[in-house]
A and B are shown apart, each in its own frame.
Chain A
Amino acid sequence: MDYTNAIEINQIKKVYDGFTLGALSFTVPKGCVMGFVGQNGAGKSTTIKAILNVIKPNSGDIKVLGFDSVTEEKQYKDDIAVVFDSLPFHEGLNARKVDRILKSIYKKWNSEVFFHYLKRFNLPEKKKLGDFSKGMKMKFQIATALSHDAKLLIMDEATSGLDPVVRSEMLDVFMEYMQDEEHTILMSSHITSDLEKIADCVTFIHNGQLLLSGYKDEILENHGIIQCEEAYIKEIDEADIVSIRRNDFGASVMIKNRTQTGSKYAGAVVDSASLDDILLFYVRGLTGREWRI
């Protein structure tokens, strides 16, 4: 199946008591690392569950690797790998047993690759998974995810709770995985520093609604923060403002369309914004244009 987008989410909506996801639309291009960013409870896991066809959206449709996620589920499930925030294997099992189990589940399971990753991550083959540390469990999940030649790797808060050394090690592994242009990663996280390192595209969601989706570099280039005094705020075009953070010494104004409007504010210092800043200013801007710390 030829496809340009590894994932196409089209107007999906899921209504729960007290929470509504969507209508949400975005795409994850093939060969791209998509960072899926949002606060806890923003709807990231719900979206991932919808992609995996574990929950049924009230409306909308999803295509995964070119196949409909509901009606053609069988055709793509062998080609995707999922990493959850906690280990989905029984704690009494060990790596050898998991290899034997998954060998019979995935058509393209490669024991050699699996044991290669175990060795690389210094994971014991006979030790019970229950005795693994949190970092070891995450490494183990990643080893299983990368051992059946999956074209799409979906990670739900996979690096949360890991120390910086292990996170960096994992990011290196993902970089290697992305050497194959057929491979795609959707990585949900609220640790944006990881995504700034490896993501090509970023999608922000908040309270089940899409805030922003696009190429990371474009998003970072298009946003900036003007550190200024109160009086200068009036000089800034309303249409360019995302939101304003006031403090005792002045204000920080996040502007969008920085590349086009940058010359307008030549008199001010426009700092680069991080993904964290962008998320923060957009989220706070939803409740009011101005906020104070």
Chain B
Amino acid sequence: MIGLYKKDLYLSKKMLLIMISTFVLLLVFGILWRSAYDYGNLASFPPEDLEYGKRSSEKTFPFLIALLLGCESAFFTVNTIEMDIKSKFVMYAYSGPVSDQDKTKVKVYELLTAFVVCSLATVVYGLIFGILYGFSDVGIGILIGIGISVVINCMACISVPLAYKHKNAARAISTPVAVLIGGFYAIGIPEALFGAEDGLGRIISKLVAPITKAGGFKPWLSNNWVWIVPIILIVHVLFLAWAYFATLRQVKRRERICGAS
């Protein structure tokens, strides 16, 4: 199993370099941007705008790094599957002493690694920002960053079994992205056309009403993130578990992956 993990690491060397470059470039850009409010051209803004700009940049940059690194890491996890199929390594692995379960576990561990790396990157970024400019708004940025890492990781969980199914990384990634965007539009268009009381917006409002009336969302609305974090973690674990079983199901379909004849 470690061998397969190492193999994917070697294959993702370029992507890892891109991720490191992204982190460094965004850190430099973020510091320059934030410093511009103190010492640069942006320092001439009216006091209210200046304060807003400082606070928003301290919130935005830590989660922006999670967004970029999340997308890159999700891509390399899925891309290695396509590379394995194209290079016939997948056939070699089937003829070797690696069980289907181990092949699947490697992919789930890679997803977890990607999540940990993205979360750590957002924390490190936030800490650097915090040390330089104070921690008052950085915490929210880090929290949103970890949340974004979870969301992207959950989408990658859907993409991994799809990559085995379609033998195509781009198709495997675009499917959950299309569903997500389509979902936003499905809710957003009726909202825009008829207002919240009509169309899908109305249906969703009705569905959510019993919970909101019972005060079910109060802990969330009162900004009590102590509740949000475990829920996010549970959702993430459920997605990872789903990724394991859905991928294992695909990996077991050896004949389909290796070609019919």
Contact = CB atoms under 8 A, between A and B. Distances in A.
A52 to B, nearest CB: 4
Contacts of A49: 258
B91 interface: yes
Q: Among the interface residues B4, B7, B83, B255, which one has the most CB atoms of the partner chain A within 10 A?
A: B7
A89 B87 contact: yes
B135 interface: no
Contact of A105 (B94, B98, B254, B255): B98
Nearest to A19: B261
A127 interface: no
A137 to B, nearest CB: 12
B254 A55 contact: yes
Interface residues of A, number: 34
A105 B4 contact: yes
Contact of A101 (B10, B97, B255, B258): B10
Interface string A19-62: 10000000000000000000000000110010011111000000
Interface in B1-52: 1-4, 6-7, 10-11
Chain B binding surface, main DSSP class: helix
Given A55-B255, A84-B88, A88-B87, A105 B3 contact: yes
Interface stretch (A74-82, A166-174, A275-283): A74-82
Contacts of B3: 100-105
B6 A100 contact: yes
Contact of B95 (A45, A54, A56, A107): A54
Contact of A74 (B99, B255, B261): B99
Contacts of A90: 7, 10-11, 83, 87, 89
B92 interface: yes
Contacts of A84: 88, 91-92
Nearest to B83: A90
Nearest to B87: A90
Interface residues of B, number: 25
A106 B6 CA distance: 14
Interface string B179-215: 0000000000000000000000000000000000000
Q: Among the interface residues B1, B94, B95, B254, which one has the most CB atoms of the partner chain A within 10 A?
A: B95
Contacts of A89: 87, 89, 92
Interface string B240-261: 0000000000000011001011
6 contacts: A82-B95, A84-B91, A89-B92, A92-B11, A104-B6, A106-B96
Interface of A: 16, 19, 45-46, 49, 52-56, 74, 77-78, 80, 82, 84, 86-93, 97, 100-107, 154
Interface of B: 1-4, 6-7, 10-11, 83, 87-89, 91-92, 94-99, 254-255, 258, 260-261
**Nearest 8 Cβ contacts at the A-B interface:** A104-B3, A88-B92, A105-B3, A77-B97, A88-B88, A104-B2, A78-B97, A52-B95
